[in-house]
Structure 1
Amino acid sequence: MEWAARGDHLRGVPRKMIFMAVGAFAKAVANLLNTTTVYNVETLLRLVRHRPPGVPLITVSNHMSTLDDPVLWGFKGFPITDVELGRWVLAAEDICFKNPVFSYCFRLGKCIPITRGGGIYQEHMNEALDRLANGAWVHTFPEGKVYQEDAPIRRLKWGTASLIVRAPVTPIVLPIVHHGFEQIMPENYMFGRRPPFPLCNKDVQIHVGEPIVFDVPKLKQEAVDSSRDLSFSHSGWPKTMCGLDEAAQKSLYTNISDQIRQVLESLRTSSLKAN
């Protein structure tokens, strides 16, 4: 259903309707039903609105509930109903694209279906790359699934790292850590299931970090050097991607993912101390 993701689908009217409806819902949950505080919001707004032409943005965050997106963007002052500024987001195919109605609505909402376990070179990762090539904003949850425990950031999947490496223009990478969505939409609320509606009177905190700068050419060379004596059995990956063999690719993606995880964990730790 890629046609529904095109900006000119029915002159863009269905997408505008979805953004208006979902934006109103997100703002209600974030501001009317609950209390949301955002730290360093100026950095996020600046990069969403005023980054250099043609430079893409990747935001990365922890994943505390199924409502993280879109409610993460529902705080006061954020242009959540602006179709042009709105993020593209990688979304789990088995949750968001279970039937044609869901698929249509999520596609209108600028969601890109990702098959969990399908690998970093699955078909729709190319769509995410196309969005980045156009200078768009893409949001990812690099942990790969919801984790509601108060615990350190888990080992990240390699998908986000592969997007950073493969994008024609290296994206700006902005880390975000949040707390409180796990209370609004707990996974085990009643009989091991989520509540039918978001819960109220909870405090949400969103901590925006500073951009992470990646020198991709330098990191590629380091990956080649570090993997020179390593070998991996071929597991369906392209034999060469961005000029790197499989061993170098895995070394590179591990390095970038570890750097992102360390920044997210540092932001998470500092946010807890601030409380």
Structure 2
Amino acid sequence: MQGHDDLYPNAELPSFLWRSASYQTILAVSTLSRLFIYGFNKTEVNGLPRFLDLLKSRSDYKTRRRGLLTVSNHISVIDDPLIWGVLPLSFAAFHGYMNNRWSFGSHDICFQNTALSHFFTLGQVLPTHRMYHSPYGGPFQATMTEGVRLLSQISSRKMSFCPHNDPRLHQTYHTPSWPRDCVDPFSDVVPIAAYPSQPSDERWYHAPSRYACNSYSWVHIFPEGMVHQAEDQTMRYFKWGVARLILEPPECPDVVPMFIEGTDQVMHESRRFPRFLPRIGKKITVTFGSELDVEAVFGDLRKRWRELADEDARKRGHSSWNEIMLGIVPESLAHHPEAIELRKECTKRVRDAVLEVRRSRGLPDEDPKSGLVETWLREGPKRNGRMDDGSWVKDA
């Protein structure tokens, strides 16, 4: 267990001004997204009433009993926030307060400067490093720790591990401040509720896992990790980060698979001048699958994960796995052969759930090899543009 100096108390809420700025940012983006997909395109939504009922049942963070994880394919750089325009504005305005999705955005795209960093932080996007662009990428980066914690219970009466107080880091990190750093300048929380996305990051980011109001949050992830546009609407392999979000929270989050169609035509990677403008007059379809029976689908994997975590903790001198360290995976467990196999199997089951939604759209079954890493390694090192199979890819 960490020493007392490494622990901090959580707070109940960010400041009113921070919450207001975040709420208004998300409401404005939701309004523009809805105007675009319904005013300038033809949009079809399947399974929305069921999904809305689930979201509305989670409106009060004090009564939530588990997190919510939505998972989908990724076919356009504007999938998020565009797909959330299918949610009625009444939801965003009323039921969405403190109940909107958290998502992951590329650090090198969404957080290039202070202005962009503030906008995306207020829009509940977490900075994610991609291994192709940063040595700090991968499934065990700091932002994935935030993701695991957001899907867990956060108590203002409990102590949590605080990397900011780690004396090993003081030589590298500055003390977070506003406006350079994306932190709540009106909060009296000490130490400041913030974290660096990687050791050499020039700014700190708001840490939502410091606040009880973010207990059992809704997190959305695109496990392909990059845009993939194919005529037959196949998906790339899913990356392991999604498995961490299912295996590690003390209570398994609800999981809702989704499938997106048509946004690739709005912003296709083959588009020419003006590339920055989305195309109109397209047909967009968003399909929400049924909520998974998480105990039936993931129960055995989660049970074995906890056993491995407890075994690892005992080897390091602790009686069992400690929730204070939630979201922080020691090297011994990160690279444990059985832990790797658990992540692989969990990721496969998630992808199978999304494939089931894809199948409900009348699309033919994929080649089973499409879900294997080895299949996509044959693409070679190229990360953007048209591939040999005719599909288009982009880091996003």
Q: TM-score range by the shorter chain?
A: 0.7 to 0.9
Unpaired runs of at least 5, structure 2: 1-12, 132-136, 153-214, 308-328, 365-396
Does structure 2 retain, via aligned residues, the 8 Å contact 1:121–1:237? no
Q: Report the equivalent of 2:148.
A: 129
Work out whether 1:25 is the aligned partner of 2:32: yes
2:361 to 260, 263, 271: 271
Is the partner of 1:170 in helix, strand or coil? coil
Deviations 1:2-36 (A, max 9, x none): xxxx8426342321221222112111111111111
Counterpart code for 1:186 = H
Work out whether 1:186 is the aligned partner of 2:186: no
Structure with greater Cα Rg: 2
How far residue 153 of structure 1 moved from its aligned partner, in angstroms, is: 2.0
Deviations 1:124-170 (A, max 9, x none): 11111221111110000001111111342221000011111111211
Unpaired runs of at least 5, structure 1: 1-5, 226-235
Q: Report the equivalent of 1:145.
A: 226
Does structure 1 retain, via aligned residues, the 8 Å contact 2:148–2:244? no
Q: How many residues align?
A: 254
Q: Report the equivalent of 2:286.
A: 206
1:72 to 79, 83, 90: 83
Work out whether 1:113 is the aligned partner of 2:121: no
2:333 to 233, 240, 260: 240
Is the partner of 1:80 in helix, strand or coil? helix
Residues 76 and 264 (structure 1), Cα distance of their counterparts in 2 relative to 1, 3 Å cut: closer
Q: In structure 1, how many angstroms separate the alpha carbons of the residues matched to 2:123 and 2:243?
A: 24
The farther-off stretch of 7-16 and 126-135 is 7-16
How far residue 83 of structure 1 moved from its aligned partner, in angstroms, is: 3.4
The farther-off stretch of 149-158 and 202-211 is 149-158
2:67 to 56, 63, 67: 56
Is the partner of 1:272 in helix, strand or coil? coil
2:276 to 177, 193, 196: 196
Does structure 2 retain, via aligned residues, the 8 Å contact 1:223–1:251? no
Q: In structure 2, how many angstroms separate the alpha carbons of the residues matched to 1:224 and 1:254?
A: 16
TM-score norm. by structure 2 comes to 0.60
Does structure 2 retain, via aligned residues, the 8 Å contact 1:19–1:83? no
Counterpart code for 1:197 = L
Deviations 1:173-228 (A, max 9, x none): 1000010000111122016xx73222111111111111223335522566899xxx
Q: In structure 1, how many angstroms separate the alpha carbons of the residues matched to 2:109 and 2:293?
A: 32
Does structure 2 retain, via aligned residues, the 8 Å contact 1:60–1:139? yes
Counterpart code for 2:117 = S
Counterpart code for 2:105 = A
The percent of aligned pairs where both chains have the same amino acid is: 29
Residues 217 and 208 (structure 1), Cα distance of their counterparts in 2 relative to 1, 3 Å cut: closer
Does structure 2 retain, via aligned residues, the 8 Å contact 1:153–1:264? no
Instruction: Provide the aligned C-alpha RMSD in A.
Output: 2.5
Work out whether 1:41 is the aligned partner of 2:48: yes
Residues 47 and 76 (structure 1), Cα distance of their counterparts in 2 relative to 1, 3 Å cut: closer
Is the partner of 1:269 in helix, strand or coil? helix
Residues 104 and 265 (structure 1), Cα distance of their counterparts in 2 relative to 1, 3 Å cut: same
